[in-house]
Chain A
Amino acid sequence: MFEDGSILNDLFLERLNYFIYVVLLLIGLHAMISKNNFIKKLIGMCVFQTAIILFYVSIGVKDGATIPIYLPEHDPHGEQAYAAGGPEALTVEQVASYTNPLPHVLMLTAIVVGVATLGLALALCQKIYEGYGTVEEDELMAKLEKEDAVHRKPPTRTAGKSTSKPKASSRAKSTAPGPAGKTIASKSTKSSGTRKTKDPSKKAPVKKTPVKKTARKSTPKKGDSK
């Protein structure tokens, strides 16, 4: 069953590391893409990155080789080397008895990168949880959808042109009932929270914002009245 050249032999005896790495990689990828919970996604990300680390480390494996630190008899700065007449580079045969350190060194860097990514992603999760009270993707999407819907509506036509008070406010007064206007206004200020532009000095826009909803109906009227 496990004779040379058969698939089972390849998978489970000769290349077991690579087989496991592929399985881990797919598990990680699956979790990252299809899990709903952000933390689970991040766990998937860790598995994914670990799989790659396993792959690299497997590259460096060499049967019967030792760790890549000079054996005493090979040390170019050791006693034996000086006894033989000074430091000399190792020959190819001598080098063959050491494993290749390069993949492991590369993975040290990759581990650092992975840790940094994970830390940053967890911090993001925390921020999302603070902002929206959830780390479930579908719930977050629903909340974002709501927020963006408010955001995407045409802005208050005069928003930001702070010099425009007379016209806007007169229009607002003429058409917008107070309470309805207020609810819209509170919504719209929430949505522009990311911009952080009109918080401090602008209690006034609260009065102005009703224009947004009512402007459409009001404009023809305005045209008539002029």
Chain B
Amino acid sequence: MMENSIAWILLFPLFGAVLCSLLGMANRKFCWPIGVVSMIGSFVAGVMTLIQAIDSPAHEVSYVFGGWIIDSYPRGVGIEFRADLMAALITLVVVGIGLCVTVYAKLPVERETPGKEHFFYPLFLLQITGLAGICMTGDAFNLYVLIEVAALTGYGLIAIGGKRAAAATFNYVILGTIGASLYLLGVGYLYIKTGSLNMVGINEVIVSSETLKDSATMQVAFVLICLGILIKMAFFPLHAWLPNAYCHAPTATSCLLAPLVTKVMIYVMIRMVLTVFGVDFSFVDTPWPSVLPWLVVIAIVSAAVMALGQREIKRMLAYLIVAEVGYMVGGVWVYNYYGMIGSIFHIISDACMTLCLFLGAGLILEKCKTTHFDGLRGLFSKMPLTMTAFFVGGFSIIGLPPTCGFFSKWYLITGAMVSQRWEYLVALLFSTMVMVVLFFRLIERIHLAVSESGENLGKGHGDLGLTNEQTRFSEGPLTMLVPLLTAAAVVLVIGIYNQEVVDLIEIFLDPFDLPGEPESK
């Protein structure tokens, strides 16, 4: 199994999904254990792949499905799965979060979609299959198929939450289809010009040709692909589908989609820019590095301001995701070594901290039946562990050390300074301030007896206007609490061991010769 671990990452959830839907028809109790077991298998395979990628001399693992021989020039037909260090790291994050949420999903699924477990878990596992596949595939068209696998299951997972969720999903379907189709169109143009669909193959042709860089067809391909991906990742003016879809989705769905979908699409953008088109094509003498940071500034500032206006945790978090997408896109397009490290590291850390926040919000919803700010009073005495973990995620979003959010933001800010993109720097700091306001306002709502509209609900002197019954210690169920605490621990551990992660990213970025790279290491 060791040498084929990269394929096992996908096979476990794929066959888990099939088993779930077959056995689930007989008895719905089978679904959850099958899901957990297959995700554990997938996670182990993910760890093995990362170890393999670190150990191998070229720092990448390759697996060609169906035994095609693709070593011709340019790299030929046949679906190749390649995991270099970036892909292996992010795949590990995807399956890790998948495992966490699968464990967590047991109770919310039973409660919110009773009797639909045998629909929910197969979709859930296929979603993880799609997302992990996007991270590892080395084939541009296969990437489209996997994007659609992830998207279609995502629509299903959101719409399973009832009529309001279905109404919110419809927009997502339309925009998601436009995004994926534009990507497909771009791949078509690439194929016309390069005659290859393999990512490395396309890059070999682009690099070896003198004229391709100026070709209008290639420029169109680049713009179409980037536009498609920007829609899929909910970049600010194209974000309209995200907040409603994530707010009205069932708890388990939003916990899975919110940390992963947007981040994985940013990974796709980095993959396209670095591996497929190459640094020369994407950055040197093109207008994008000067245009996109300004769009990013608009995106970050508007999303942060919109987040300020929300009175509900889930909706606020949805807008935070849109702002974070701006961070990462900006890190890529300031075009230097540190910005790129920051972007890749922020994908990892943002996935973990968003997971933490959404798991926490799910638990709050479970115990309080509301995520409105006014329903939060006294939660620290009622569920101290949950709230601590929730605020570890919150502090990571703000960027307080030693959480991982601090270090990734540090690299992003360094990147902004090295490229002298001050507008991006200001936007980052502004959004940090907004997040401080957001999370400390939450803390205030929890500890003070003042409601959102400003009225006093208690009797003064620290009284919250609650009975002892209401503030008595009562944590959520263990299957929900343990994943949350794990997520919080991971946020801290990645923060403390950030240098190890960054080392891997540096090895990955080494061959790309980005500006600002330190001379000798």
Contacts and interface: CB of A to CB of B under 8 A. Distances in A.
A55 to B, nearest CB: 6
Main secondary structure of the interface of A (DSSP, over half): helix
A127 B159 contact: yes
Counting chain B CB atoms within 10 Å of each CB, the highest count among A25, A117, A130 belongs to A117
B380 to A, nearest CB: 15
A163 to B, nearest CB: 4
A13 interface: no
Contacts, number: 153
A88 to B, nearest CB: 17
A49 B162 CA distance: 28
Contacts of A121: 170, 173-174
B152 A120 contact: yes
A140 to B, nearest CB: 6
B369 A159 contact: yes
Interface residues of B, number: 58
A177 interface: no
Interface in B278-322: 311-312
B219 interface: no
B162 A124 contact: no
Contacts of A220: 455-456
Contacts of A32: 174, 177-178
Contacts of B148: 113, 116-117
Interface in A201-218: 215-216
Interface string A41-84: 10001001100100110010000000000000000000000000
B286 to A, nearest CB: 24
B197 to A, nearest CB: 8
Contacts of B372: 154-155
Interface string B345-388: 00000000000000000000101111011110100000000000
B3 to A, nearest CB: 28
B192 A59 contact: yes
Given A49-B181, A52-B185, A117-B148, A198 B167 contact: no
A219 B453 contact: no
B191 A103 contact: yes
B188 A197 contact: no
B111 interface: yes
B163 A130 contact: yes
Interface stretch (A1-9, A90-98, A179-187, A188-196): A188-196
Contacts of A45: 174, 177
Given A152-B311, A164-B469, A127 B166 contact: yes
Contacts of B520: none
B199 to A, nearest CB: 15
B409 interface: no
23 contacts: A25-B185, A32-B174, A48-B178, A52-B181, A52-B184, A52-B188, A55-B185, A103-B188, A106-B141, A124-B155, A125-B170, A144-B164, A154-B372, A164-B466, A192-B369, A194-B161, A194-B163, A195-B112, A197-B111, A198-B369, A216-B453, A219-B455, A219-B457
Interface of A: 25, 29, 32, 38, 41, 45, 48-49, 52, 55-56, 59, 102-103, 106, 109-110, 113, 116-117, 120-121, 123-125, 127-128, 130-132, 140, 144, 147, 152, 154-155, 157-161, 163-164, 166-167, 192-198, 215-216, 219-220, 223, 226
Interface of B: 77, 111-112, 114, 141, 144-145, 148, 152, 155-156, 159, 161-167, 169-170, 173-174, 177-178, 181, 184-185, 188, 191-192, 197, 248, 311-312, 365, 367-370, 372-375, 377, 451-453, 455-457, 459, 465-467, 469-470, 472
